Structure 1
Amino acid sequence: MKNFIYSFLLISLIACAPSSSQEVSTEKPKDFNGYWYAGEAEISSYRLEQARYGEIHAGESVLVFVTEPFSKDKQVKLDDWRDQSSDNVSVMKLNMTKKFLTGIYPYSMMMSTFTPVSANIYPDPFKVTTSSQEWCGHTWMQMNLQDEEYRIRGFSYFESEGDLDVLVPNAILEDELWTRIRMNPENLPVGKVDLFPSTFYLRLRHRPHEVRKADAKLVALTSSEYADDAHKMYEITYDDRSLSIYFESTFPHTILGWEESYMSGFGNPEMLTTKAKRINTIKSAYWGKNNNKDREIRKELGLSTQ
């Protein structure tokens, strides 16, 4: 019993803790390890203007980036970060959340992407998971890399979507672009690309889970509403959708904001644009800050405390 309790406590303590391994390719800057393997996550808050039901709704978004030890075979976070086997692969994890109200009822959405740090060895994300909750019900989707394909399993309260279990060809995932920017934006794909759309977009637009032909470009900018100094924009366009991500040109390539435009649907043919602009960025071992007094940190991020 004592061993069980000890094991439980150990797992609880490391449940969200970052990786201590340092699998960094030679393409990354020399301060990469010092920033991403310092025992903290990077948390950025954003003021969100979300398009939904033909209108723009105020809300908030958070991007949490952290490195973690990941099992490439089981495709889950390893309980023991000290595992020295070849199964232990360091990944850059992104947890992206969106919270906004549509009239009387709230939306709460979350997407997680697990991208290997050593892209020269493991070029593709291992896994993406996405969930959405609102008063009508909730949905869940998971993508797992299997050889040259992704297995997609999804569960929805919509009859037309139902339970999903399909294979799609390996392609660039729109959801991996955020982690690619943080690790090395110069390696972002440009030109004509095969792209699997954002899982948030697929959920909100009820679109089929298929690879699309997209145009991608990386542009150097000198000013915009997202920053006063030099920065860059990465843009992709396909179907009725475009996404522009604004980020700092220099390491650690903090994401300053984004814009995404598409037809709002549900009988409204108008093209609307979702916008997110950064409020603040902090480094924190947030998994240990779970007491009532720690709510003060949310004020630093400009986030609601209730």
Structure 2
Amino acid sequence: MNQKLKTACFITFISLFACNSDKKSKNEQLTPIKEHKVISSKNQFNNYWYSGKAELNSYELKQSRYGEIRDGEVILVFVTEPFSLNKQVKLDNAKEAGSDKVSVMKLNQIRRFTTGIYDYSIINTTFTPIDSRKHPHTLKLNTSIQEWCGQTFTQLNLKENSYLVQQFSYFEADGDTETNLPVTLLEDELMTRIRINNGQLPEGELDLIFSTIYSRFTHNKMKAAKAIISKTTTDTTIQYNIKYLNYKRKVSIDVQKEFPYKILAWTEDDGDGQITEARLKKTINEPYWQLKSNSDEAKRREMQLIK
């Protein structure tokens, strides 16, 4: 399949995905999930996500690293923002941006854990347009990893029919690189897609660019790889299972079955016998960018954060 046809198929899938269609996709590899009985209305979505607050979630973390499980915590910050389509940064003057303005769901994942004497701090940020029909691809993704030996930074920017991938590293084996990847679904955007699209993900075999954190930790180059997404459901949850066909990596994501489709837990299995696991502790909705005073540290205790 040539690149133009691949891109056309993916855009078709996103259009079906955004419209909550129960029709079958013409692309045999991308079969949209059927609608749930409970689907959020546009007003319900807007009232929640455009309320002037962010959704802040804290998770207990069991992180696999260097052959052992480490205790830590994860924070997921979901918030909508006005974004520049051309510059791919948050707009300072959204009212004056005109057609350059696009509303995105931003997800900041802050992951912290300790390995022996030293600690890791990871921030992964994804910018996914709310209007998937008009803007079917995530516009930007970046990941920074800091630990006592050094730091790395990875960024993907959407450039027409490809992602520009820039990687910078303290370590010689990684070096500073720049490359391009064909546009397809990102593992790092699955959670924003779930929140935007009524808890839905595609099912079946598809191309998936695997996680930037996985790429750095395992020293696998960023690339699109074949994966299968399947699901199981209970009365209250949906579990998505992602299995890569040519890599040992498996991921599962547990999702609240009704609006606002919170991420309840997830696991990552890289085939090393150690499984990374995150489980939700607390959710609050706050304009966190305004909570800067010492007295606002009470909100950290409310979120049951360790540090």
Q: TM-score, normalised by structure 2?
A: 0.85
Give the structure 2 partner of residue 180 of structure 1: 193
- Give the superposition deviation at 1:185: 4.5
- Aligned pairs (5 A) from 1:143-154: 143-154=156-167
| Match status 1:304 vs 2:293 | no
Q: Which amino acid aligns with 1:174?
A: E
Q: Structure 1: give runs of 5+ residues left out of the alignment.
A: 1-24, 223-229, 264-269
2:269, 2:232 → 1: CA distance? 18
- Give the superposition deviation at 1:204: 1.1
- Indicate conservation of the 8 Å contact 2:239/2:253, yes or no: yes
Give the structure 1 partner of residue 203 of structure 2: 190
RMSD: 1.3
- Indicate conservation of the 8 Å contact 2:199/2:261, yes or no: no
2:234, 2:137 → 1: CA distance? 28
2:128, 2:260 → 1: CA distance? 16
Give the structure 2 partner of residue 13 of structure 1: none
Task: Identify the match of residue 277 of structure 1 among 276, 279, 285.
Answer: 279
- Give the superposition deviation at 1:187: 4.3
Give the structure 1 partner of residue 138 of structure 2: 125
Aligned length: 268
Give the structure 2 partner of residue 248 of structure 1: 256
Q: Which amino acid aligns with 2:256?
A: E
Task: Identify the match of residue 269 of structure 2 among 261, 268, 275.
Answer: 261
1:166, 1:26 → 2: CA distance? 33
- Give the superposition deviation at 1:272: 1.1
Runs of 4+ in 1 over 2 A off after TM superposition: 25-30
Q: Structure 2: give runs of 5+ residues left out of the alignment.
A: 1-17, 21-39
Q: Which amino acid aligns with 2:41?
A: P
- Indicate conservation of the 8 Å contact 1:29/1:251, yes or no: no
- Aligned pairs (5 A) from 1:208-247: 208-222=221-235, 230-238=236-244, 239-247=247-255
Task: Identify the match of residue 76 of structure 1 among 73, 76, 89.
Answer: 89
- Give the superposition deviation at 1:297: 0.5
2:233, 2:86 → 1: CA distance? 39
Say which SS state the counterpart of residue 190 (structure 1) adopts: strand
1:187, 1:258 → 2: CA distance? 16
Give the stretch that moved more between structures: 129-138 or 212-221: 212-221
Q: Which amino acid aligns with 2:262?
A: T
| Cα deviation digits, residues 235-277 of structure 1 (max 9, x gap) | 11111100100010111001101011013xxxxxx42100010
- Indicate conservation of the 8 Å contact 1:61/1:96, yes or no: yes
- Give the superposition deviation at 1:186: 5.5
- Indicate conservation of the 8 Å contact 2:82/2:91, yes or no: yes
Pick closer, same or farther for the CA change 1:73–1:57 going to 2, 3 Å. same
Q: TM-score, normalised by structure 1?
A: 0.85
Task: Identify the match of residue 76 of structure 2 among 63, 80, 83.
Answer: 63
1:79, 1:142 → 2: CA distance? 21
Give the structure 2 partner of residue 94 of structure 1: 107
- Give the superposition deviation at 1:81: 2.5
